[in-house]
Amino acid sequence: MRVLAAMSGGVDSAVAAARAVEAGHDVVGVHLALSRMPGTLRTGSRGCCTVEDSRDAWRACDVLGIPYYVWDFSERFKEDVVDDFIAEYAAGRTPNPCMRCNERIKFAALLEKALALGFDAVCTGHYAKVIKDADGNKELHRAADWAKDQSYVLGVLTAEQLEHSMFPLADTPSKAEVRAEAERRGLSVANKPDSHDICFISDGDTRGWLAEKIQMQPGEIVDESGTKVGAHEGANAFTVGQRRGLKLGTPAADGKPRFVLEIRPKENKVVVGPEHLLAIDEIRGIKLSWAGLPVAEVSAVAGTAGARSESFACHAQVRAHGDPVPASACVETGTDGSEQLVVTLDEPLRGVAPGQTVVLYQGTRVLGQATIDAARSLARAAL
């Protein structure tokens, strides 16, 4: 099988490519140049597409004896990931750029090009698993190492994309084993730090970075009753659940800290309140997609305008490293054919924000995902 190995310059992608070679596949390595400033240097575990990353990817391919190429996807990355990130924050939402990158770059643009060039699959160092059901349909599942599991950020993959995805690290019990294997194979990235945070904000200062991209307008900070308790320099810089940096002029009556409950961009207001009001009981999601075949309850009414599917039991996860909570979900189809995912949580989730992604699971299987459009709190509704 002809396999295109996406080489980030890190240890996971290097070992994944090595395993693909060892399995007998015809492997070609490719490093995606996503940064518009490719000459920048990596700072510890921050940064992406740096000089070091490109060189590390090349060295790994050299050790493995496979061809190595660099593909420039920087323009598409800027449009589909960076510009989307800015637009979402400007609209008062909290986006997940890793989801957009996997959806639009690594498993859309890259896979599209790979298939056009005659490759059968794209191989990455993600910790996730693709397995076949009894009828031969491919499903996305959690990796063996739940601590490193990345199935959440892959929840945007479609059935067609799963057909051409390869995750050689799926059954690896720990990251330590991956590093040990890299050492044995003579890969120089064996002890390279993991990257984290938002790759295109190298210093980790998201608020400062956004301030340069979005025109901030001063406005009011109000409590849950609408009373002004402070002022802000720009509502777009806040996120739901935030506690620090509020600089409130009026303390809470009980003296306890307050948190950002909601951002209202049209009114340019930030709503704050006590921690218990962050608890969310219902999530409504848009831009719904299924990681494989939809569940039977949804398939039964698919495409029926005005229909609401039967509810199905699942677990919902709203952060890459968050804990899944038991829930029930259904799909509502509008008269225009648009679908909305409705998730009722058995246990409230704290600080859920529009723009985040909710991923549904049944056991280890990823069912699908949706972008959170609204999050409802019964406690706030009762005020």
Residues identified as active-site: 101, 199
131: Cα separation from own chain's centroid: 21
| Structure-token match 């506690």, residue found | 243
Helix (H, G, I), strand (E, B) or coil at 61: helix
Q: Are strands 121-123 and 2-6 parallel, antiparallel or unpaired?
A: parallel
DSSP letter at 224? T
Tokens representing 139? 């499903």
DSSP letter at 135? T
DSSP letter at 310? P
| Helices of type H across 69-123 | 74-77, 83-90, 97-101, 110-116
8 A C-beta contact, residue 143 and residue 169: yes
| Helices of type H across 185-240 | 206-211
8 A C-beta contact, residue 189 and residue 7: no
> Which secondary structure element, helix H or strand E, spans residue 159, and what is its range?
helix 159-162
Tokens representing 74? 């920087």
Tell the burial category of 264 from Cβ atoms under 10 Å away from its Cβ (0-12, 13-18, 19+).
Answer: middle
> Which secondary structure element, helix H or strand E, spans residue 374, and what is its range?
strand 365-376
Distance CA 352, CA 369 (A): 15
Show Cβ contacts of residue 306 under 8 Å, excluding neighbours closer than 6 positions: 333, 334, 335
Distance CA 110, CA 167 (A): 15
138: Cα separation from own chain's centroid: 21
DSSP letter at 75? H
8 A C-beta contact, residue 372 and residue 356: yes
